[in-house]
A and B are shown apart, each in its own frame.
Chain A
Amino acid sequence: MTTSSEQDLIERLRQQDTHALSELYDLFSSRVYSLAVAILGDTMAAQEVTQDTFMKVWKNPHLYHRDEGRFAGWLLTITRRLAIDHIRHENRRSGKSFSLDDENLPELRDPWQDEQARWRDLKHMMDELPLEQREVIVLAYYRGMSQSDIALYLDTPLGTVKTRLRLGMEKLRAAFVETRNI
């Protein structure tokens, strides 16, 4: 079977073509699963989230709009949200509760080929951040914790958490914007 373009695949998904889902899975499952493992740290839970992600796309392909950006960005956003929902579900058992609402965020707009290099740069920039700044960004984004949750978790004043997160993200933004302009 030949690999179709993303847009063609999405059109076929809308017509409930199971082969289209199979192709889509082959194209994106590694990225979806990698993100789920990174967030959950548990391969069994990550498999569940990966399956739920593709089931969600299968049932709701009409929710993706091309003018909102790259399909992969949309898919990974669903993965992240499902993974964090999973963490929160587990956390609720121990009496904690978190919130998240970013389904309607705008998508990335650059062509995929250029993005591969940019993600590598971004990863490098993250590695270069001071540990305390990287730590709060990871807890916020990959664990779905709010700034207040992080302050409690790290036993650190809320103001300090806010400052670390802001400084870290400002550095990433400055470097990211710079690489885009090169």
Chain B
Amino acid sequence: MSKLTCADVIESLPALALGALDDHERLDVTAHIDACSGCQTQYRQYVDISRGLLETVPQRFPPAALKRSLMLAIDPPKKNRATQVRAWFTGAQSLPRWAWGSAILAVLLVFSLLGVRYVSMLDQQNGLAQQLHEQQVTISVLTGNEKQSIAMLGTANAKGATATLMFDSQSATGVLLLHDLPVLPDTQSYQLWLVDSAGKRDSGAVFNVSPDSNGVATLVIYAPQALKNYVKCGVSIEPRGGSPKPTGPAALTGTYS
């Protein structure tokens, strides 16, 4: 057993379970645990918690294209097909050089066209998968049993605009329903800010309202912590793409009741 006492080791168990001990400490602590059943029991409890932390993150869905990419990666080309290709290649070696050049150019052209089409289809598919996911989240939030809603009102910069932030009381994911928010010029974006009791502002989303949306939009929000932990929220007008902290005028403001 290492020279550390149980009291020393117990202090280090939480950090060990989180993988946060520095190398030199870790070796001493693990050597002690290997030989001490009491510390081992406590360590297992901390490990249970660390494993549980892996399950507590907000739920997201990968794009559908990812599964196809994985399945293609694990399914290598069949051997017999390779043999057939090799036989064809051997026969084709007798063709004149100009025929080879034309054939290669034609193949490159076809592959380029197919590649462009494939990328465009993948983009479309990813977009649809993301839309579907956001619709599922929206339905889940709107129909939840423990939902909370915060009303937001337009300032002088967005007169008549309203919004409602809705979320499940345990979740960091929510839905922002927007009405009559003016369309911004291309150089600007709206940015949602969530303010905690210490005044710290977390960015909740950066978005733009499309001209053909009739001023109505629904947005899924992914906050860094549970949405119930904030005390205020607001939407500001920022440079296109958003800012690390609010810099522009407020468009909507809301306070948790």
Contacts and interface: CB of A to CB of B under 8 A. Distances in A.
Do chains A and B stick together as partners?
A: yes
A124 B54 contact: no
Contacts of A47: 62-63, 66
B190 to A, nearest CB: 21
A150 to B, nearest CB: 7
Interface of A: 18, 21-22, 25-26, 29-31, 33-35, 37-38, 43, 46-47, 50-51, 54-55, 58, 72-73, 76-77, 79-80, 84, 99-102, 105-108, 115, 118-120, 122-124, 126-127, 131, 137, 140-142, 144-148, 150, 162, 165-166, 168-170, 172-173, 176-177
A76 B51 contact: yes
Nearest to A140: B20
A165 B67 contact: no
B73 A29 contact: no
Given A29-B62, A126-B56, A131-B198, 6 more contacts: A29-B66, A46-B60, A51-B73, A73-B51, A105-B47, A137-B53
Contacts of A122: 49, 52-53, 55-56
A97 to B, nearest CB: 11
Q: Which 4 residue pairs spanning A and B have beta carbons closest together?
A: A169-B14, A140-B20, A38-B57, A123-B56
Contact of A108 (B14, B26, B52, B67): B52
Given A18-B74, A21-B74, A51-B69, A166 B57 contact: no
B11 A166 contact: yes
Contacts of B57: 34-35, 37-38
Contact of A99 (B23, B47, B59): B23
Interface of B: 11, 14-15, 17-23, 26, 44-63, 66-67, 69-71, 73-75, 170, 198, 225-226, 229
Contact of A127 (B49, B73, B225): B225
A30 B61 contact: yes
A101 B17 CA distance: 10
Contacts of A102: 19
A105 B60 CA distance: 26
Interface residues of chain B: helix, strand, loop or mixed (majority): helix
Contacts, number: 151
Nearest to B73: A55
Contacts of B74: 18, 21, 55, 58
A72 B55 CA distance: 9
B51 A165 contact: no
B70 A141 contact: no
Contact of A140 (B18, B55, B56, B229): B18
A76 B54 contact: yes
A51 B70 contact: yes
Contacts of B170: 120, 123-124, 127
A5 to B, nearest CB: 20
24 contacts: A25-B67, A29-B67, A30-B59, A37-B60, A38-B57, A55-B73, A72-B55, A77-B54, A80-B54, A105-B17, A105-B51, A119-B55, A119-B56, A122-B55, A127-B170, A141-B20, A144-B19, A146-B22, A147-B15, A147-B21, A165-B14, A166-B14, A169-B18, A177-B45
Contacts of B46: 169, 173
A75 B15 CA distance: 22
Contacts of A51: 66, 69-70, 73
Nearest to B53: A141
B75 A50 contact: no
B49 A33 contact: no
A46 B170 CA distance: 24
A101 B53 contact: no
A137 B225 CA distance: 14
A108 B50 CA distance: 10
Contacts of A172: 49
B185 to A, nearest CB: 28
A181 B182 CA distance: 54
